[in-house]
Amino acid sequence: MDDLVAGDPSHIGPFRLLGRLGAGGTGRVYLARSAGGRAVAVKLVREVHAQRAAFRSRFAQEVAAARQVNGAWTAHVLDADATAEIPWVATAYVAGPSLRDVVDRDFGPLPEPSLLVLADRLALALTDIHSAGLVHRDLKPSHVLLAMDGPRVIDFGIAGAVAALSESDMAGTGVIVGSPGFMSPEQIQGKLVTPAGDVFCLGAVLAYAATGRMAFGLPDSGLGMMLFRVVHEEPDLVGVPASLLPVVRACLHKDPARRPTPEQLAGHLATNGGPGHSWLPPEVLAQVAGHAAELRESGIPRGHRRQYPLPVPEDGYRPDPPPPPPAAASEARMRRSPARKAAGFPRGQQRRSLSGALIVALILLALVAWFVAWFFARSLT
C-alpha cells in the first residue's frame, strides 16, 4: 500500500481513505475504513468514464447485480454511488497479494496442490458471478487475490460496466478492450461476450499460475501477433501439471460452445482446501500474513507503528515458537538471494530441495501466520 498523495480525497462516501492500493484502466483503488472500523477497498472510476451518462446507467445496473453475488470466493460489494461526481464502489478488503504479484514478482509458479484449489475456487466464483447475470470480462491474475483461506475474484462491477460500453462503442472500429493475453478469441474479434468468455480467461489464468508464462506468449513481437495467436494458434501449456491439463485445454477451446461451464469445472475439480487447510506454500502464507499485519497498522503514522504479539486463540493454544534459524552461512545465502530463490519456486526450474530443518521452520511459520491473520480478521469484522 502506498501513502495518499496531494489531490487524493480524504473521504469517499462514508469511508475514510488510508492509502492507495493501486490503479488501472478503470480507476484508482484505495484502502479505507468505515465508520465502524471495517476495512474496505474503494474504487474511484476514471473521470473519462464519469463524464458519460451511458456509463453511469450501466454502472448502476452492474453494481446492483454485483450486490447479489455473495459467494465465498468473491469480494463482496458493500456500497456504491453511481450518481456521485465521480462514481465509486466499495468492496470487502481482501488481505492478500494478487496472483500476478505472487507468480511474476515474488515466488514463481504455484505447486500442483495450490493450483487445484485455485482452479476449483475460481470456477465457483464464476458460477456465482454468472448466476447474478454478470459477465466479468476482465478476469486476469491481478484480479485474483490470494487470501489465507482461498482466492478471491475482484473487480467484477466496474470492469463489466466499462467493458460492456466500450465493446458497444468500439464495434467496427478495430479497437479492442481488455487485457492482452487474458482475452477470449470472441472478445478480440469484437463478437458478443458471454460467460464462456470468462471460462477462456480462467484457462489463461490457470496456465499462467502453473507455468509463470502467458499461454499465448508475450507481445514482444507486437500486440497484433499476440492477439493473432489467441484467435488462431494453440496455447503453450508446457509445464501445466497433468492433473490440470485437461481442464486448461477445455477452457481454452476456440469455440465458446465447446468450453465447459464453471459449474461443470467445479464439479470436476471439487477438492479440499480453505479454512483449516494450508492451500498455499508456507512462503506465500507468510506474505498473506504480512498483508494482514499491514492492514492492522494502516492509518497509524509510520514512526509510531509497533509489533503486535502473537494472539492466543480462545482455547488457549499457542503454537510452539519456530526453531532457531539455520546456520549463519545459510542465512547469508538467503539474504543475498532474491525473493524468488528464497521462496523455492524458481521460474522454469525444478524446486530446490530444502533441508529438513528449514521445512519444519517454514511449516511452523505458516502456522503462526495463520493465527495472525485469523486474529486480525476477527478484529476487523
Query: Which residues belong to the active site?
Result: 138
Quickly tell me which residue has 470466493 as its cell: 73
- Spell out where the chain has E strands: 11-12, 15-23, 27-33, 39-45, 77-81, 88-92, 144-147, 150-153
Q: Is the dihedral of CA 243, 111, 29, 175 positive or negative?
A: negative
Q: Which amino acid belongs to residue 156?
A: F
Packed helices 262-269 and 195-211: angle between N→C axes, nearest 10 degrees? 40
Q: Which of 162, 41, 51, 132 is nearest to 92 (CA)?
A: 41
Q: What is the dihedral of CA 195, 200, 205, 210, to 10 degrees?
A: 140
SS3 state of residue 79: strand
Cα gap 339→341, rounded to integer Å: 5
